């Protein structure tokens, strides 16, 4: 796992990520759609819960989570 995020426009997000330096890696993308009426605060909460779960399991945040992976 390199990065966890959320977006309203998946296609544009993938174009943005394709331009990033992934340190020679070719990342595989996994996504999950959620209902359209979730508030932004709930999307951020879900993202943070996923990062926290990863941290609990692995002992560290996803490698590129806080290094400009936005």
CA distance 58 to 69: 19
pTM of the full predicted structure? 0.74
Quick check: 69 pLDDT over 50? no
CA angle at 29 for the pair 28 and 30, rounded to the nearest 5°: 125
> pLDDT (tens digit, 9 = 90+) per residue, 2-18?
788 888 888 898 888 88
* Residue 68, pLDDT score: 61
> pLDDT (tens digit, 9 = 90+) per residue, 18-34?
888 877 888 888 888 88
45-52: list long-range contacts, CB under 8 Å, 24+ apart. Answer: 46/6, 47/4, 47/5, 47/6, 50/4, 51/4
């Amino acid at each position: 796992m390199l990065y966890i995020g959320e977006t309203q426009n998946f296609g544009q997000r993938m174009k943005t990520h394709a331009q990033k330096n992934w340190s020679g890696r070719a990342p595989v993308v996994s996504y999950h759609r959620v209902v359209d009426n979730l508030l932004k605060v709930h999307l951020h909460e879900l993202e943070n819960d996923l990062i926290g779960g990863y941290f609990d399991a692995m002992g560290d945040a996803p490698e590129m989570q806080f290094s400009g992976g936005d």
